[in-house]
Structure 1
């Protein structure tokens, strides 16, 4: 994502959304593959995971060999950039980590992620707890990811026109409200509609987080900004799922719905606070 951000100065939200949208496509395919191998054809768990690995390796190799540095220009070559950094800055530029706006943004996104993945992990077991068939319950994950594909691309396109922070905060708030309504969905049509809405709104957060962080960083600190952001998100996403499991086991799915919803709403407030630090005009493109 940091490499893509260095290629584009305009339409950055759309381009990052398209890149991240690939993971949504995988999120549609993998649940179906796993369900077919494990439940339909009776393949062992070990060989199912090996099959996944055999599919992923060539795709990852393709991604690795096609990632190249941005093309050099006459007045702004890569070598000139490196030389400028060495002359004017310390060898390790960590200035972005001292930016209060960037810190608030990272905190908001990290808190959002704390509960954002909970519905994605537990929508299948929730549907099973209501007595729905395992095949339909399993495919709800694909519904979320299929909707997330559009949620990652369309909001990125709109964000380039109305502001990345504006759309990211709005997506977080919408995801939080949707999550709080999770347990109101009981039948299959209701669950499908809920998955479509939640997949779209949560996908927008995943798409816009990189462009928001990138807009605060210079060309030279894009990688550092993404590293700090992803590190913060990794910590809270690591803790979020075990917390979710404990809540479901002890208090049921309503508590999980509240946990995810409150996390997303609080996170969206912090994201909007970071946006106000950039421009206090609520209607400004930011």
Structure 2
């Protein structure tokens, strides 16, 4: 599970970090591009509530697998978001699924802890790889995109495949 958290976190913030640049390069207005992170975070409010409720019914691991898969599919959908409506829908859906993955990760670690006394230890150890991948992800994704000519499909593919793994 810790390895899954590391890999998922590598690609999680690509649309949040480079989504505004993607929108501007694809002819979407600067005002909408400016609010793309706000749209992601607004949808993330619901992404932290509903999947956690479903995890009580179906188990946190099962719901997290579904949310990671949906986040990966939505990551691939970024390539097709060349118009205003598509980009807004992408921001809302991607924000919902990424925030659900973030909130469900700690819950799945807690359910896998062997003893009640080991909960703090399990949370601490599981946060180290996620923190490292968060720091390493954006520079690596920027290098994958390129310096002058931005090759979007490379960054999108790298980001989306990490979710599905």
TM-score by length of 2: 0.94
Alignment of 1:177-196 (within 5 A): 177-196=73-92
Residue 186 of structure 1: SS of its match in structure 2?
coil
Task: Provide, for residues 101-132 of structure 1, a one-character-per-residue CA deviation record: whole Å limited to 9, x for no partner.
Answer: xxxx0001110000111111111111111233
Gaps of 5+ in 1: 1-104, 267-286
1:254 aligns with 2:153: yes
**Counterpart position of 1:152:** 48
Moved more, 217-226 or 247-256: 247-256
Which of 196, 199, 214 does residue 95 from structure 2 map onto? 199
Distance 2:116 2:157 in 1: 39
Q: Flag the structure with higher helix content.
A: 2
Which of 229, 236, 242 does residue 133 from structure 2 map onto? 236
Moved more, 238-247 or 130-139: 130-139
Distance 1:229 1:119 in 2: 24
Larger Rg: 1
Shift of 1:135: 2.0
TM-score by length of 1: 0.55
Residue 181 of structure 1: SS of its match in structure 2?
helix
Greater length-normalized contact order (CA 8 Å, ≥ 6 residues apart):
2
Which of 34, 37, 40 does residue 141 from structure 1 map onto? 37
Detail structure 1 runs of 4+ shifted over 4 Å in the superposition.
none
Distance 2:159 2:117 in 1: 35
Moved more, 238-247 or 125-134: 125-134
> How many pairs were matched up?
162
Task: Provide, for residues 126-150 of structure 1, a one-character-per-residue CA deviation record: whole Å limited to 9, x for no partner.
Answer: 1111233322101011111111110
Residue 240 of structure 1: SS of its match in structure 2?
helix
Residue 239 of structure 1: SS of its match in structure 2?
helix
